[in-house]
Amino acid sequence: MSRPPHEEQHRQAAMNAWSSLVNTRLYGHHVPTDMAISSLRAADTELYAMQECFAAARKQRNFLIGACKLPVELLGYIFQLLRVTWKPARWKMTPSGKAGVTGDWDSTTRYTSGWISVTHVCSIWRQVSVNNPTLWRDIDCRYIHPRCIDTILIRSKAQPLRLNMHLHLDVFDQRDHGSEVRLREPICTRLDVLTLTIVSYGSEPTDPLALALPNLSELTLSLVEPEKYPSAKAFTSQYPPKLRRLDITDYVPQVASTLLAHSLTSLKLRRTHDIAHEHLLTVSRLSRILLRLPNLQTIGLANVLKLGTRDHALQPFTVSSCLKQISIVSREYEAVATLIGRAVLPPSTSVTVNALNCELPDTALRIAEVMFRESIVDRTQTQEIVLARNIARLFPWHSSNSLPRGESFLPGMPEVTIDTRSRGYRVLRLTAPDEDVQSSSIEDVVAYLPLSSATAIAFASEFEFVTSAASWISTFSAARNVLHIYLSSSFELDLLCAALEERSENQEFVLFPHLETITLDSWDMRACPHPHPGMVALASSLICRSDGGSPIREVRAKKSSESWMGEEWDRIRGLVELSFMK
């Protein structure tokens, strides 16, 4: 596309002017051959000056763009969003020019500034960003050039700092880490959130990394390749008075550790690599830690528990009433059962256990027994039960619930899940070594559930142990107060409906005699014969229960299934209230 004549004239005039200037600066003086090195240096000096001028000219050009003239408040808001989504980066370049692993010896470190690039767009953007200290309070030292960190700290002014850093303790390691920030006193006093990875390589912090952390509220600590374990005061010489959240990986603090501040409300301990068995957490040691943390609300333990020699003789210990939730991921079933059995937990405390590599030994059943026993479950509170193939969940039923919450509320159970949406729930997950849990596992666990206090039961998957109407009755006959049931799409409805029609010698219905609501979730009936056997069985059970004086009041189904079984739904609608949910 050709330019207008006046633009072409402007371009040519600019080219002539700048070419003349370049020729004057670079070729205006001839130097002897023996001064070639000096000439090269002089040329580099000229080019460096040109680049600086070009950068200034580009800033002036950018100032003419409309986005550079936005209100200061709006620009500040945009920069805050940009800071979250456009992170600085750091990588290694090998001599071949290919990106290498960060730890490569023969490589060069490269950095990209990410959102910080906005400070070089134009003078307005630079002024707005540099003068906004809240933009500079989050510092990920792992990806920022070491020479830039002091500048960022100055720009953050007196703002509380959120720091993410690595600390390498091996003084003989000459690799270019480019991420260390010494925890000197001016930084320590401003720290609000600290994420610290200590790479020990056989060394250990012998002196406190920080004398005091007076304003630290959250600490995430990881210890890499520890051969020796730090002392109780290796990280800070004093208890951080404002520390609320502590998350530690591959290190279990001593009972006397200054990290275990009395102000803690959340504690997570996890193990991702093998550590010496003597450094794992015994139940006795954990009980002493819990007694030191009166304000603790949530605790997560992932693969850090072990059964100590003194744990068998451990007496019951009372846990603070502030504790809302304890979450455990472990293969040490005996230690888990001992912890839950010895800890006197308030009924309002929620307990989540993921028993890894579980083939249902007796100790795994002990976990179910102590989790759901009457002494820790509030029997005055009606309960809702959710059963899946390898999960049993028990939590308080609230009258405002219109139906069991079912499958969508089953926890994903990642390592150390902290869930404070409700209080007083119990979740047990049994994970087999091949991730394919035997279906009989939940059948054994059901025996320990308080079925008599259940108001609602959600069957979130099909169970192989329920193979007939008789097995339905033998397994769930104790749940006589159930008003609502939820069935996932995989359930054999005809077997359940047959069980709902069974009566005792005195003509009382033996399974869910007070049932009011049945909810069918995600039933794809398009490929099924008409009339659908399950729908025929459902209609039969509705008639039977109505004739027997225990009518089912309502059937609910997904809106998407309304058009698939029109005639069948019409029949159900003629017997009970029928509603469709989105």
pLDDT in tens, 273-332: 776 667 789 999 999 999 999 999 999 999 999 998 888 889 999 898 899 999 999 988
| pLDDT value for 375 | 57
Residues 516 and 385 in one domain: no
Of 118, 136, 154, which residue is a domain's last?
A: 136
Cβ–Cβ < 8 Å for 190, 158: yes
| pLDDT value for 572 | 87
Is 380 among the domain residues?
Answer: yes
| pLDDT value for 157 | 92
Q: Report the pLDDT averaged over residues 463-490.
A: 86
Secondary structure letter of residue 195 according to DSSP: E
Residues 309 and 413 in one domain: yes
Checking if the pLDDT of 101 tops 60, the result is no
Is 330 among the domain residues?
Answer: yes
Of 110, 136, 162, which residue is a domain's last?
A: 136
Is 475 among the domain residues?
Answer: yes
| pLDDT value for 93 | 66
Residue 520 to residues 51, 275, 458, 487, 491, Cα–Cα distance (Å): 70, 48, 10, 5, 9
Checking if the pLDDT of 566 tops 90, the result is no
Q: Between residues 181 and 294, which one has the greater pLDDT? A: 294
| pLDDT value for 217 | 96
Residues 482 and 440 in one domain: no
| pLDDT value for 12 | 78
Residues 440 and 474 in one domain: no
Q: How confident is the model at residue 402 (pLDDT cuts 50, 70, 90)?
A: very low
Q: Report the pLDDT averaged over residues 381-393.
A: 84
Residues of the chain with pLDDT > 70, as a percent, come to 78
Residues 531 and 571 in one domain: yes
Does the reported pTM lie above 0.85?
no
Checking if the pLDDT of 555 tops 80, the result is yes
Is 58 among the domain residues?
Answer: yes
Q: How confident is the model at residue 543 (pLDDT cuts 50, 70, 90)?
A: very high
Residues 446 and 505 in one domain: no
Is 264 among the domain residues?
Answer: no
Q: Between residues 27 and 173, which one has the greater pLDDT? A: 27
Checking if the pLDDT of 35 tops 50, the result is no
Domain that holds residue 435: 300-450
Is 579 among the domain residues?
Answer: yes
| pLDDT value for 64 | 72
Q: Between residues 453 and 178, which one has the greater pLDDT? A: 453
Question: By three-state DSSP, how is residue 102 classified?
Answer: coil
Secondary structure letter of residue 319 according to DSSP: P
Cβ–Cβ < 8 Å for 481, 452: yes
What's the total number of domains in the chain? 3
Q: Which of 102-111, 154-163, 337-346, 468-477 has the lowest mean pLDDT?
A: 102-111
| pLDDT value for 411 | 39
Checking if the pLDDT of 354 tops 60, the result is yes
Checking if the pLDDT of 422 tops 80, the result is no
Is 149 among the domain residues?
Answer: no
Q: Which of 117-131, 161-175, 259-273, 406-420 has the lowest mean pLDDT?
A: 406-420
- Mean residue pLDDT of the chain comes to 80
Q: How confident is the model at residue 102 (pLDDT cuts 50, 70, 90)?
A: very low
Residues 422 and 312 in one domain: yes
Of 450, 483, 513, which residue is a domain's last?
A: 450
Is 105 among the domain residues?
Answer: yes
Q: How confident is the model at residue 474 (pLDDT cuts 50, 70, 90)?
A: very high
| pLDDT value for 529 | 65
* Adjacent-strand bridge partners of 197: 166, 222
Q: How confident is the model at residue 379 (pLDDT cuts 50, 70, 90)?
A: low
| pLDDT value for 440 | 43
- The helices-and-strands tally (H runs, E runs) of the chain is 14, 24
Question: Which own/partner contact pairs does 375-382 have at CB distance under 8 Å and 24+ positions apart?
Answer: 376/340, 376/345, 376/347, 377/347, 377/426, 377/450, 377/453, 378/347, 378/348, 378/424, 379/450, 379/453, 381/347, 381/424, 381/453, 382/453, 382/454, 382/455, 382/481
Residues of the chain with pLDDT > 90, as a percent, come to 29
Q: Which residues contact 330 (CB under 8 A, 6 or more apart)?
A: 301, 302, 303, 304, 305, 336, 353, 354, 355, 356
| pLDDT value for 176 | 43
Residues 399 and 470 in one domain: no
Checking if the pLDDT of 435 tops 90, the result is no
Q: How confident is the model at residue 98 (pLDDT cuts 50, 70, 90)?
A: low
Q: Report the pLDDT averaged over residues 483-512.
A: 87
**Exposure of 343 in the CB half-sphere (CA atoms within 13 A):** 29
Residues 316 and 432 in one domain: yes
| pLDDT value for 219 | 94
| pLDDT value for 517 | 92
Q: Between residues 371 and 18, which one has the greater pLDDT? A: 371
Q: Which residues contact 305 (CB under 8 A, 6 or more apart)?
A: 280, 281, 282, 283, 286, 328, 330, 332, 335, 336, 339
Residues 304 and 445 in one domain: yes
| pLDDT value for 467 | 84
Residues 368 and 491 in one domain: no
Checking if the pLDDT of 405 tops 50, the result is no
